[in-house]
Amino acid sequence: MSTTISSKVTKGAGAETYVVEGATLTCTLGSNLNQLQIPNRRCILINGKKQANIADHIGRFNIISFGSCSRSIPPPPCINATINKWVNGKENGFVDDEQALLNTSINLCACGGVISIVNDGQ
């Protein structure tokens, strides 16, 4: 059974929004944008798309690749080496027992890049 929820966290300009599958991500060291992938088992939906949580950070599973990594010359392929969960999740909103991912959340790559959300996917 799927649950559908409201997409806005707060009201007003610059409001935080929940992130869903297909959200556009960027890395400060990457050459390409990326799209967030969410596990098939996720059943909380916003506008028909699976909602993300802060545990959705696994390289080659949730975050595939940002193309080339500019940490060195010549740039090697991005391996997306996130170690920790996303930070700045929704403190009182949970998806599968983890904080809901917000458009203002960030993650750090072990290669030195900062991963952020360009578009929430809605």
Q: Is 95 exposed, middle or buried (0-12, 13-18, 19+ CB in 10 A)?
A: buried
pLDDT at position 39 over 70: yes
Tokens of 102: 């917000």
In three-state secondary structure terms, 45 is strand
| Per-residue pLDDT tens over the stretch 40-64 | 899 999 999 999 999 999 988 999 9
62 closest CA partner among 28, 107, 17, 92: 107
* Average pLDDT rounded to a whole number, residues 19-48: 96
Taking residues 64-91, report their average pLDDT: 94
Structure tokens at 5: 């929820």
Domain topology for 1-6+17-117: Tumour Suppressor Smad4 (2.60.200)
pLDDT for 11 beyond 50: no
Instruction: Give residue limits of the domains in the chain.
Output: 1-6+17-117
In angstroms, rounded to a whole number, what is the distance separating the alpha carbons of residues 45 and 17? Answer: 14
> Which pTM does this prediction carry?
0.87
Whether residue 1 has pLDDT greater than 50: no
Extended beta strands in 1-122, E state: 3-4, 24-27, 34-35, 44-46, 49-50, 90-95, 98-100, 106-108, 114-119
Share of the chain above pLDDT 70, in %: 89
Token output for 35: 């799209």
Q: How confident is the model at residue 20 (pLDDT cuts 50, 70, 90)?
A: very high
Work out the percent of the chain whose per-residue pLDDT is above 90: 80
